[in-house]
Chains A and B, each alone.
Chain A
Amino acid sequence: MSTKQENIDVSVWRGDPHSGNYENFKVPAHESQTILDVVSWIQQNQDATLSYRYACRVGMCGSCAMMVNGIPRWTCRTHVKKVLKGKKLEVAPLRNLPVIKDLVTDMDTFFDKWISAEGLHHPSKTRLDPIEEIEPKSLGRVEINAGIECINCSICYAACDTVTNNSDYLGPAALQRAWTVYNDVKDADKQTVLNAVSGDGGCLNCHSQGSCSVHCPNDLNPMNAIAGLKRATATSFFNRKG
């Protein structure tokens, strides 16, 4: 490789919860290079104090999401070539979450909402019972499969303007998880789930903006799951009235 080294102009958001601004760096370009590689190159070679978060580096843990040229993305699996505009790259912390420092956000609200949406299993059996036979093609299971591979990366949460505008809104990932719980024949407490998602910050706030589904790196479709919850909520509304 005798070609002369090409550089990428990267502007990176630096700051703390109170203030911040973009700083510019020149990063050598490589053939196989992800946004995460770019960010860590800066930390390892140019500015040792740059903060960011990652763990698995293969798109499984959902720790590394950032705004890349204005779009929320998993940085460990976003090839630079895919997003490069000219030779420029702009990296910022994920939207809709408080910043801890530089590119690191505080994801607690995201997970608090996940739990508030009752996005967890309510057991109907114990470890002493045999494993239930459930046909993979059964209706509920098909719905669940469509949404279960969520890595809670919060990309959808960052993409959704309803989250921006309404701080109570549980957000696409939590609601999608609730939808999978609701469809689980093993779950003992679906009404709790439905109550949790039909309240003030619940599924009815979703305006089907669809940014969640468009930007989910795993091609999941939270918008669809939320529509399912809306249907279930409406049905139970009529059933209770009638």
Chain B
Amino acid sequence: MNIRLYMLQRITALIMAPLTLGHIAVMIYAVQDGLSASEILGRTQGSNMWLLFYGTFVVAVSIHAAIGVRVIVSETFKFVGFTLDAFAWFVCVAMLFMGGRAVLAVTLL
């Protein structure tokens, strides 16, 4: 763990904190009001605000999770050096890809 990874992990966590809270709040609020999922989608789709909201989340979570999994893998399976970095990058890119598609799906369409 070096200082850059450490700081990135904390900063992304701090970014995600309000976003997750917001996300969960919206969900609770929405469902409580008897709105269906499709109505939520209706709201988010085409909105740049929500694109930004979830886009940021996906970027942050990809970085955050990649670093997190990197630590777990290095401690548990003793991965080091290139293998470890490659693994972390893979996680990051995969998350970005999956998350990116999802965000596009719920906001752009």
A and B touch in the complex (CB under 8 A): yes
List A residues at the B interface (Cβ < 8 Å): 162, 165-166, 198-200, 202, 204-205, 230, 233-234, 237
Minimum Cβ distance to chain A for residue B73 (Å): 11
- Within the complex, the shortest CB–CB distance from B3 to chain A, in Å, comes to 5
Kindly list chain B residues whose C-beta atoms are within 8 Å of the C-beta of A199: 2
Q: Is the interface of B mostly helix, strand, loop or mixed?
A: helix
| A-B contacts, 23 listed (Cβ < 8 Å) | A162-B75, A165-B75, A165-B76, A166-B74, A166-B75, A198-B3, A199-B2, A200-B1, A200-B2, A202-B1, A204-B1, A204-B2, A204-B3, A204-B6, A230-B6, A233-B3, A233-B6, A234-B3, A234-B6, A234-B7, A234-B10, A237-B3, A237-B7
Chain B nearest CB from A78 CB (Å) reads: 30
Q: Given the complex of chains A and B, what is the CA–CA distance between A107 and B59 in angstroms?
A: 44
Provide the residues of chain A in CB contact with B2, threshold 8 Å. Answer: 199-200, 204
| Least Cβ–Cβ distance between B22 and chain A, in angstroms | 26
- Chain A residues near B7: list those with CB within 8 A: 234, 237
Complex interface bits, B47-82 against A, C-beta within 8 A gives 1, otherwise 0: 000000000000000000000000000111000000
A198–B2 alpha-carbon span in the complex (Å): 7
Would you call the interface of chain A mostly helix, strand, loop, or mixed? helix
A-B contact sample (9 more), CB < 8 A, given A166-B74, A166-B75, A234-B7: A162-B75, A165-B75, A204-B1, A204-B6, A205-B1, A233-B6, A234-B3, A234-B6, A237-B3
Contact with A along B1-15 (1 / 0, CB 8 A): 111001100100000
Kindly state the separation between the CA atoms of A165 and B1 in the bound complex, as whole angstroms: 13
- Compute how far the CA of A71 lies from the CA of B74 in the bound complex, rounded to whole angstroms: 26
- The CA of A72 and the CA of B62, in the complex, are separated in Å by 39
Within the assembled complex, what's the spacing in Å between the Cα atoms of A202 and B5?
13
A231 to B: closest C-beta gap in Å: 11
Complexed CA–CA distance, A72 and B10 (Å)? 32
B13 to chain A, nearest CB (A): 13
Tell me the smallest distance from the CB of B28 to a CB of chain A, in Å.
30
Alpha-carbon separation in the docked complex, A230 to B3 (Å):
9
- Complex Cα distance, B5 from A234, in Å, reads 11
Residue from the set B1, B10, B75 with the largest chain A CB neighbour count within 10 Å: B1
Output the least CB separation between B53 and chain A (Å). 27
Separation of A210 and B1 alpha carbons in the complex (Å): 19
Q: Which residues of A contact B3 (CB under 8 A)?
A: 198, 204, 233-234, 237
Closest CB-CB distance, A182 to chain B, in whole Å? 16
Q: Complex: how many Å from CA A200 to CA B76?
A: 17
